[in-house]
Amino acid sequence: MIQYTLSQKYPQDSFLQVEVLVKPSQANFEMKLPDWRPGRYQLGNFSKYLRNFRATNPKKERLDYKKTNKNTWQIHCKDEYCVIQYEIFTSTIDGGSTYVDEEHWYLNFINCLLYQPDAMLLNHKVQLEIPEDWTVACGLKKEGRNLFASSFYELVDSPVLSSSDLQHLQYKVQEIDFHLWFRGKADLRKREQIIEDFKKFTTFQMDTMGEFENQDYHFLFQIPDEKAYHGVEHLNSTCIVLGPAKEFNTASFYDNFLGISSHELFHYWNIIRIRPKELYPYDFEKENYFSTGYVAEGVTTYYGDLFLIRSGVKNLEWYLNELNILFKRHFENYGRFNSSLADSSWDLWLDGYEAGIPDRKVSIYVKGALIALILDLKIILETEGEKSLDNVMRKLWDNYYRQDKGFSPEDYLSTAEAVIGHDLTAYSKQFINGCHPIEEELSLLLGQFGFELHLKENEDSFAKHLGLKTNEGKVIGLAPDSPAEKQFRIGDQLISCENHRFNEIDTGNFVNSDKPTYSFHIFRNDVQKEIKLHSGKRLFYSRFTIKEKKSADNKENQMKKKWLNL
């Protein structure tokens, strides 16, 4: 067993004190700190937060060691065991961080605990030196202030939220206990509605997937005063940071609260257990490149909202609005013509969580959700409503997770083909590995479910007529082959247009198709310039929106019910 003791030197200290008791496997052995965390496919370089590393033998004599790379320490020890001590700096709170102060501990062990590479499957124990009146919320086995894991993998997939002022809600589905823990100023006056809504979507998810392995599940919520939106999935829990707290009981906050919680719960099956082969098992030392982010995050994004309408938590108007948000994000991103979903997934490790250069990539969350929608509708239609994407996910569970292996892109496609009953090469070539537009396929499919796609012009007249996207007077986007692309560059600061100060212009109506030329004054590289743009008839940054048909036939209504459970 590897044992850890966690403490603070002073209650308000930003540093977490860590002590590790290990039995060396040989005289020269290695200890490593993970370099990234599951759920965030980006190197974290967590070792940059570690200081004051030291190693001693049972006699407290200092041992020789050397650092062999950025996250590896080689220690020389001939004794039965050695003690390693170090400090981890904690300063931010997000879904995957570690943070300690005098009021609470928020621990994601993946970024603060060293591991012994040849002992990862041993039992691990963590002792928390915290005040007696603090509650410990965690999915691990607990005995007092001690936590126990059957492996390092289980340990680092089981975060902790601990404080004296945690709020707690609880419900039960199929004899499984679900816990909602809140840290922050969460106003739980609607606790009965929260429990009812969570119970509904949880029940529907469990009925859909058919199997839940744990006896409990923990939603760990941080509700800060500032705006925040971030969630991370774990083995039998999720960490969610959502703010600001003052908006907790507003309709928009509550929708986000339900949406992110439904999304993260479905990760219990998809990505935590149904996992790409490249992540089976995790390698914490380097990038784990994989091209199936459209399954890991795209399918989960699709289902996160879908389960809310299917379970009766939300209505059709809400769901169509959520789809229109996805459509806006997808169709206003010209990166959809430049990078496939598979390539964008591979490049998660490069810049997947950053805006990146203009129009380079697509979102595995957004486009991934939309092609999951396409596949679901195709399966429902072609099986007369007898099957759906649900069947694909259940087969992945049975044929891959239950067989203790990960899936490949070919495995995902062949599983879908087995469900739908025919070849899906064209679907894969166009929408996964290619940049084929999705609107024609979406329109054709949605029409058979009682819905229509409509082209919607951009509300900003500069974006619509000139292809010029701005934010607070700064150029942030240039549509390909637009008048703006011919004259502007990203980062230009707009001073005026047609002698009107830009910060005083109503951008919704200023530019129109009747006026052919517009004069701008800008700053570029601290030099003032005048630019003249010649507009044309072509429109830019348009998108599609979904609406119900005014009169759907019986067949379409039947298919709508099969899809949305309405």
Percent of the chain whose pLDDT exceeds 70: 100
Residue 347 pLDDT > 90: yes
Q: What are phi and psi of 140, to 5 degrees?
A: -80, 160
Q: What is the mean pLDDT of residues 443-452?
A: 98
pLDDT of residue 354: 87
| pLDDT tens readout for residues 58-102 | 989 999 999 999 999 999 999 989 999 999 999 999 999 999 999
Tell me the pTM: 0.96
Domains and CATH numbers, the chain: 2-163 (2.60.40.3650), 166-248 (3.30.2010), 269-450+550-566 (1.10.390.10), 461-534 (2.30.42.10)
Averaged confidence pLDDT in the chain: 96
Q: 104: which 2 tokens?
A: 């609470």
pLDDT of residue 513: 80
pLDDT of residue 158: 98
pLDDT of residue 304: 98
How far CA 44 is from CA of 36, 110, 112, 163, 284, in Å, comes to 5, 10, 11, 26, 10
Residue 321 — very low, low, confident or very high, per pLDDT cuts 50/70/90?
Answer: very high
Residue 25 pLDDT > 90: no
| pLDDT tens readout for residues 169-227 | 999 999 999 999 999 999 999 999 999 999 999 999 999 999 999 999 999 999 999 99
**Nearest alpha-carbon partner for 245 in 256, 234, 237:** 256
| pLDDT tens readout for residues 228-260 | 999 999 999 999 999 999 999 999 999 999 999
Q: 101: which 2 tokens?
A: 């102060």
| pLDDT tens readout for residues 247-299 | 999 999 999 999 999 999 999 999 999 999 999 999 999 999 999 999 999 99
438-442: long-range contacts at Cβ-Cβ below 8 A with a sequence spacing of 24 or more?
438/330, 438/367, 438/370, 438/371, 438/374, 439/331, 439/544, 441/374, 442/370, 442/373, 442/374, 442/544
**Nearest alpha-carbon partner for 416 in 312, 299, 334:** 299
Q: What is the mean pLDDT of residues 304-318?
A: 98
Write the Ramachandran bin of 359: left for phi over 0, alpha for psi from -120 to 50, otherwise beta. left
> Residue 181 is which amino acid?
W
